[in-house]
Amino acid sequence: MRVFVTGASGFVGSAVVNELIGAGHQVLGLARSDSSAERIMKAGGQAHRGDLDDLASLQQGAAQCEAVIHTAFNHDFSQFKVNCEADRRVIEALGTALAGSDRPLIITSGIGLLNYGRVVTEDDVPAGSDVIPRAASEEAATAAAANGAKVYIVRLPPTVHGEGDHGFVPMIINMAKQNGESAYIGEGSNRWPAVHRLDAAVMYRLIAERRPSQKVYNAVAEEGIAFRDIAGAIGQGLHLPVVGKAGKDAEAHFKWFTHFASLDCPASGAKSQKTLDWQPGQAALLEDLASGIYF
């Protein structure tokens, strides 16, 4: 099978590329630069030049392949809503290219959308994009499916971890370094689910291969890790004190990240594991932090 992958040189996308090639598939990876193209080709894939703003190039890439995996997303949080709406347009374009065929489109969403303070499942639906901008991706997926595309949603936890991570955990580590202490909010009992990038990559591959009837998947290896435990592991790794903060003190430490640091979004991946026979086997988040790769 030949698979078109967006974000093919990124943290999650590159793991997906390696997983697909290791399973005997061919990969056509979206590359917006020479360096991205070089990384894709070094992994054994082919590069397709273009970017997320060039919707025609995305449709051309999709037209050449038997499946599409969309992992790319602009994580510039200074223009978060703009980027979420851009992702909507990307998914709409890819969905149009695949409409009326059996070729799957696998898009990426976030479990953090489902911040309900209880364990959420694949059956839960996020609030609309007017409330949570990131929900635009799932709205676009639903619309594409209604127009005849075979669409799957993979929800990633707030932390997809592993060597080379440049997501939320490294951001928290940098805040701890800058402030001279590792912090959590309140009692730190809010929970983050987690998955290793290599385990997540297996899920994307299994969906592309099996094309099951279930359409929404939670890529969850760990249901919920207390944020104070994450902060504790960071404090230990940096040899810094670990403290709880509230109100303006918490905002002073976390700044724009305060919302994410207070997320309580435990999630179950049991249904996804059963449908795909997906068994996460990589290191857990606290094990990765204890190993030193983040420090």
What is residue 274's predicted lDDT score, i.e. its pLDDT? Answer: 98
What is residue 230's predicted lDDT score, i.e. its pLDDT? Answer: 98
Summarize pLDDT for 226-268 with one digit per residue, the tens: 999 999 999 999 999 999 999 999 999 999 999 999 999 999 9
What is residue 59's predicted lDDT score, i.e. its pLDDT? Answer: 97
Domain architecture of the chain: domains with CATH: 2-161+193-222 (3.40.50.720)
Please state the three-class secondary structure of 105-141 as a single string: EEEEEEHHHCCCCCCECCCCCCCCCCCCHHHHHHHHH
Low-confidence residues in the chain, pLDDT < 50: none
What is residue 216's predicted lDDT score, i.e. its pLDDT? Answer: 98
What is residue 207's predicted lDDT score, i.e. its pLDDT? Answer: 98
What is residue 76's predicted lDDT score, i.e. its pLDDT? Answer: 83
What is residue 77's predicted lDDT score, i.e. its pLDDT? Answer: 78
Please name every residue paired with 158 in a beta bridge, in sequence order, or none if there are none. none
| CA–CA distance, 254 with 258 (Å, rounded to integer) | 5
